A and B are shown apart, each in its own frame.
Chain A
Amino acid sequence: MNRIGTLMRREFRGYFATPVAYVFIVIFLFLAGIFTFYVGNFYERNQADLEPFFRYLPWLYMLLIPAISMRLWSEERKSGTIELLMTLPVSLADAVLGKFLAAWLFTALALALTFPLWLTVNYLGDPDNTVIAAGYLGSLLMAGGFLAIGSCVSALTRNQVIAFVISFVICFAFNLSGFPIVLDFFRAWAPAVIVDTISSFSFLTHATSIQKGVIDLRDIVFFTSLIGFFLYANMLAIDARKSS
């Protein structure tokens, strides 16, 4: 536990040692604002809630989270520090978890910095703050899911650009699989089981219900098991490819 904490702190500070953290946070907040107020028609809707913000967040994450996760393991492999890390007295699970948690904490920080949006709706109206809290929880879980995917992918390559692109594509697929257009396309010819399976893997489906304030255990289980699955795959990927 101690070692996971040490690894996490090192990784977390690493984000702030380079401009990555600041660039990410600024772009994230900027785009979150644009999506909420302009694309999401925040004012025209005349409703005091953060629905537009949460609606566009999966798409924002799809683009930005791979940018955080791409360096997690590719950088270790590229610079050779993976050899240092793996010969320190830490287990592979500790290392994977420590890095993942650092990245997750970082996205949580970025998410928390959207609090002016929350202040705004509370100033303008009288929103249901439990729904908003649920929305934040759902978003955080979703961020964890995207990050686990990205972390796993970054263990497969020493090239950060490749890690970014592949993570982006996978995240895109996980988002799309709940999109009505995509589901309709499958519905036209595939049996319902397949359509339901595809839809059940969608981040949108699971996140949307949480964001509406409905905290369903199944959605939480979905995200936590998805994170568990990809982090486990992450460990296997490191073991298989650390030397090459």
Chain B
Amino acid sequence: MENLIEVSDLHKRFGSLVAVDGVSMKVARGEVLGFLGPNGAGKSTTMKMITGFLAPDSGSVRISGQELGANPIAAKSRIGYLPEGAPAYGEMTPATFLDFIGDIRGLAPASKQARIREVVAKIHLEGVLHQTIETLSKGFKRRVGLAQAILHDPEILIMDEPTDGLDPNQKHEVRQLIREMSPHKAIIISTHILEEVDAVCTRAVIIAKGKLLFSGTPPELAARSAFHNAVTLSVPAAMVDAVEKSLRAMPGVAGLEQGVGSDDHLRLTVLPKSGETLFPRIRQAADDAGWPVREMFVEGGRLDEVFRSITTSTAASAGGHRS
């Protein structure tokens, strides 16, 4: 595969604070990398180094096979970047702003106009085209930032929290847009929304305190969850104690969690010991005992729980953030 982004062993400090500590990653054409990590983990700082805004203290960034420092202008013209907070010139309107970006990106006048129309339609900016950006709502500002980032149809797209502040419909559309673009591009998005990783990313990377802690596909990430292959079922509240008792006694069961249910039913989640498959066994038990089970399904794993366990584990905190 053709690696459009290659980052190796990036380091960045701000004074005594180590913001990025040896991060390496590769993103090939066709991949969407979800960049995860708690607040202050160093995601934005890493992105700033990949896009050439900040110079790393050490380590290298290669864009389409070329060292970033060797020809920053050429590298920057291949990248579309949505910085954190989607900064834009407040006194401009989306129309004049996109026109400016098109000029700076060197689009020819005719194709620039066509491209602006296309992007405006895709991101639904028609209604606010001639309103100054400083008076736009947060979500529309973000959309202007998105439009700016994809205007020149870059092969590399780096977006820092692209769906932050968007309404659910827009979130959905932006994800769809990312999916549509993904076959031809190498994309990195940072996000705090874990379902987004499932929805659009081909790979997930987790960092905390500047250190890379996980890199793999979303299913691999989910497989790290204690809830991976757990079975959730809901039974009438009156029967919960009996059901719970026999489930706990079942071989291969690591634990049991009670959740909320609806109209007199309660949800029970049965956690497997590692490598065990519980579903057939539980279904058998339910049939045998005649439990009136209303629903029953296997969980793939809970990303928020894995995220928490990865980023708060001792490995993450033993790193010695300040030095």
A interface residues, Cβ below 8 angstroms from B: 2-3, 6-7, 10, 13-14, 17-18, 79-81, 83-84, 86-91, 242-244
Contacts and interface: CB of A to CB of B under 8 A. Distances in A.
Interface string B93-112: 00010001101111000000
Nearest to A6: B103
Contact of B88 (A6, A84, A242, A244): A84
A90 B73 contact: yes
Contact of B104 (A3, A80, A243, A244): A3
Contacts of A88: 76, 101, 104-105
A67 B91 CA distance: 18
Given A17-B91, A89-B104, A84 B83 contact: yes
Contacts of A7: 104
Given A87-B51, A243-B54, 14 more contacts: A2-B106, A6-B103, A14-B91, A14-B92, A17-B92, A81-B87, A81-B88, A84-B88, A84-B148, A88-B76, A88-B101, A89-B73, A89-B104, A243-B14
25 contacts: A2-B103, A2-B106, A3-B104, A6-B103, A6-B104, A10-B92, A10-B100, A14-B89, A14-B91, A17-B92, A79-B87, A80-B87, A81-B87, A81-B88, A81-B89, A83-B83, A84-B83, A87-B79, A89-B104, A89-B105, A242-B53, A242-B54, A243-B48, A243-B54, A244-B14
Contacts of A84: 81, 83, 87-88, 148
B104 A83 contact: no
Interface in B34-68: 48, 51-54
B251 interface: no
Contact of B90 (A79, A83, A91): A79
A184 B217 CA distance: 77
The residue among A3, A13, A87 with the most chain B CB atoms within 10 A of its own CB is A87
B89 A83 contact: no
A7 B106 CA distance: 12
A243 B148 CA distance: 21
A6 B109 CA distance: 13
Contacts of B14: 243-244
A84 B88 CA distance: 8
B319 interface: no
A80 B141 CA distance: 13
B292 interface: no
A80 B100 contact: no
Contacts of A10: 89, 92, 100
A90 B54 CA distance: 15
Interface string B104-143: 1110000000000000000000000000100000000000
A92 to B, nearest CB: 10
A80 B83 contact: yes
B83 A87 contact: yes
B91 A6 contact: no
B255 interface: no
Contacts of A83: 48, 53, 83, 87
B85 interface: yes
Contacts of B312: none
A89 B76 CA distance: 5
A89 B73 CA distance: 5
Contacts of A18: 91
B176 interface: no
A239 to B, nearest CB: 9
A91 B100 contact: no
* Nearest 10 pairs of A and B residues by beta carbon: A80-B87, A17-B91, A89-B77, A6-B103, A89-B76, A83-B83, A87-B51, A81-B87, A87-B81, A89-B73
Contacts of A87: 51-53, 76, 79, 81, 83
A88 B104 CA distance: 7
B108 to A, nearest CB: 12
A81 B89 CA distance: 7
B237 to A, nearest CB: 53
A80 B291 CA distance: 60
Nearest to A92: B72
B146 to A, nearest CB: 13
The residue among B52, B53, B92 with the most chain A CB atoms within 10 A of its own CB is B53
A89 B84 CA distance: 19
A131 B14 CA distance: 55
A91 B52 CA distance: 11
A89 B87 contact: no
A90 B100 CA distance: 13
Contact of A90 (B81, B87, B104): B104
Contacts of A2: 103, 106
The residue among B87, B101, B148 with the most chain A CB atoms within 10 A of its own CB is B87
